[in-house]
Amino acid sequence: MTAIVVDTHLGWRDVAAVAEGARLLLGDAAKRRITEARAIVEAIVDRGIRAYGVNTGVGALCDVVVDRPLQRQLSHNILMSHATGIGAPLGIVETRAIMATAVSNYALGHSGVRLQVVEALVRLLNADVTPVVPAKGSVGYLSHMAHIALVLVGSGRARVGDRIVTGAEALAAADLGPLELGAKEGLSLVNGIPCATGLASMALKRAERLLDWADAIAALTIEALMGNPAAFDPAALSLRASPALQAVGASLRDRLAGSGIVAVGAGRKTQDALSMRAVPHVHGAARDAFAAAADVVERELASVSDNPAIVGTPDEPGVHSEAHAVGAAVGLALDHLAIAVAEVAAMAERRLDRLVNPLVSGLPAFLAADSGVGSGFMIVQYAAVSLVNENRRLSLPASLDGGITSALQEDHLSHATPASLKALSVIENAEAILGIELLAAGQAHEFRQEGRAAGTDRLYRQLRLVVDPYGDDRPLADDMAVAADLIRTERPA
């Protein structure tokens, strides 16, 4: 895999590539900016210029001045007190995404950490050493990066291969020694929103692939149900001013072109149910939400999310105390993306219901080869309904949760990281739901003798490479897991 180089900052696709195993390298320009910002911090310390988190306490303790001899201790203590994560750890991919995003933020040159610190994070990534980071406990920032930073000072825990080791052992595996942090470095290591933005980058990567699968699987289902493709006519769809809707319509037309099954069903129905007829409208709207979220995440990656931000020169040092660590934009965008993906998945479940219901499908009940003796896909639809309803609960906006922390100092919270985490959960459920629809649509085609379209046949054959037709001869859960993994890891053929 090609190495990703940070010159100015990473894009979300770069973050996803590093998360999935690409090497990360610091460009010369990034190294220069990091070094220059550190020189400004040293000037602030030397001159005793009051700066939040450099020579003061943090949060509600921002007015407590910390003398120079204690500033290193302040940085170390911040890691210890902010490492408050709860529950099961994030996956390796998600943790790497956060680390890559943090490096990108430091490369902008306004954080003031030493180059040595940033290079240590890069070394951990490239050595496949992944800190253990509890997933829960963040209102938007702080705790996730604190657990990552613990490893840099030889504390905490990390994954090395298939082992969980101490921070000190993890550093040794990356040929590193424990860092002694300087002024501001503790705050910079936990501050900002690389947790939210890194996780959002992974949500985008998975959502993009899922939306392509959703279009393809819908076409396979529509064909199996002998749907009426007139709803996707370009002249009809052109009446809606939506490029994304047009793109989905074109995809459906391409998939269904030349279908013998559709030709046999021509004239049977004036119009189909909305779960079939409105695919361009719902999937197109979801693609609009995806594009909006991607634009927000891309802008966040180009933005400083540290507080305070270091500016000026060593001769004229400056520091801005601001609120750049507030991730309102990411929280709102990922809430929107989660709702969009949940709607796509909910519509998929409605098509699934039509596939298994003999009253509307014209197919054997529950797609069982021997109805009565075999239950076929009866209960798998229950599982899909369960996930659809879980997605409804998860789609409540995190960005409106609010809350007050740090003795009224932080009296507004945007919950960007929880928004990203729950978007990932919605996407995971949607992958499972679409996998179930794919299985059912493939099974429905076992009962259709007419020729499939070339576009749908490619998808059918891709499925049959990994899952055989079902005959109540094995636990269906295994097939469901394979189908979900197919959607998660491959592009539709």
**Beta strands per DSSP E along 220-374:** 309-312, 317-320
CA 337 – CA 289 distance, rounded (Å): 6
Residue 491 pLDDT exceeds 80:
yes
More confident position, 437 or 63: 437
The pLDDT assigned to 369 comes to 83
pTM for this predicted structure:
0.95
CB 139 within 8 A of CB 415: yes
The pLDDT assigned to 324 comes to 82
The pLDDT assigned to 49 comes to 78
List the one residue out of 207, 219, 296 whose CA is nearest residue 262: 219
Tell me what the mean pLDDT of segment 83-111 comes to. 96
Residue 360 pLDDT exceeds 70:
yes
CB 118 within 8 A of CB 103: yes
Q: Which tokens is 28 given? A: 């010369």
List the one residue out of 102, 134, 132 whose CA is nearest residue 6: 102
Q: Tell me the H-state helices in 321-473.
A: 328-356, 358-361, 378-394, 416-445, 454-464
Classified as helix, coil or strand, 2 is: coil
Tell me what the mean pLDDT of segment 86-109 comes to. 96
The pLDDT assigned to 1 comes to 65
Packed helices 454-464 and 476-489: angle between N→C axes, nearest 10 degrees: 120
Q: What is the pLDDT of residues 45-93, one digit of tens each?
A: 888 877 777 777 666 566 666 667 777 888 888 899 888 999 999 999 9
Give pairs for 4-11: CB < 8 Å, separation 24+.
4/100, 6/30, 6/103, 6/104, 6/107, 7/107, 8/107, 8/108, 8/302, 9/104, 9/105, 9/107, 9/108, 9/301, 9/302, 10/100, 10/101, 10/103, 10/104, 10/301, 11/298, 11/301
Give residue for tokens 């995404």: 97
Distance of CA 493 to the CA centre of its chain: 23
CA 281 – CA 441 distance, rounded (Å): 21
Q: What is the pLDDT of residues 265-324, one digit of tens each?
A: 888 888 999 999 999 999 999 999 999 999 999 999 999 998 889 899 999 988 888 878
Tell me what the mean pLDDT of segment 205-215 comes to. 98
Q: Which tokens is 451 given? A: 């020729």
Instruction: Give the confidence band of 399 by pLDDT, cuts at 50, 70, 90.
Output: confident
CA 28 – CA 364 distance, rounded (Å): 65
CA 229 – CA 216 distance, rounded (Å): 14
CA 301 – CA 286 distance, rounded (Å): 22
Classified as helix, coil or strand, 195 is: helix
Render 161-179 in DSSP notation, one character per residue: TTEEEEHHHHHHHTT----
**Percentage of residues in the chain having pLDDT higher than 90:** 76
The pLDDT assigned to 389 comes to 97
C-alpha distance across the termini of the chain, in Å: 22
CA 136 – CA 398 distance, rounded (Å): 14
Measured CA angle at 220 (ends 216, 224), to 5 deg? 165
Q: What is the pLDDT of residues 230-270, one digit of tens each?
A: 999 999 999 999 999 999 999 999 999 999 999 998 888 88
Packed helices 194-224 and 243-256: angle between N→C axes, nearest 10 degrees: 40
Domains in the chain: ranges and CATH: 4-191 (1.10.275.10), 200-489 (1.20.200.10)
Q: What is the pLDDT of residues 321-344, one digit of tens each?
A: 887 888 889 999 999 999 999 999
CA 459 – CA 212 distance, rounded (Å): 12
CA 219 – CA 231 distance, rounded (Å): 12
Residue 403 pLDDT exceeds 80:
no
Measured CA angle at 311 (ends 64, 411), to 5 deg? 45
Classified as helix, coil or strand, 86 is: strand
The pLDDT assigned to 321 comes to 83
* C-beta atoms surrounding 464 within 10 Å: 13
> Would you call 207 exposed, middle or buried from its count of C-beta atoms within 10 A (0-12, 13-18, 19+)?
buried
The average confidence (pLDDT) of the chain is 92
Residue 413 pLDDT exceeds 90:
no
Residue 412 pLDDT exceeds 90:
no
Q: Which tokens is 4 given? A: 């990703």
Instruction: Give the confidence band of 103 by pLDDT, cuts at 50, 70, 90.
Output: very high
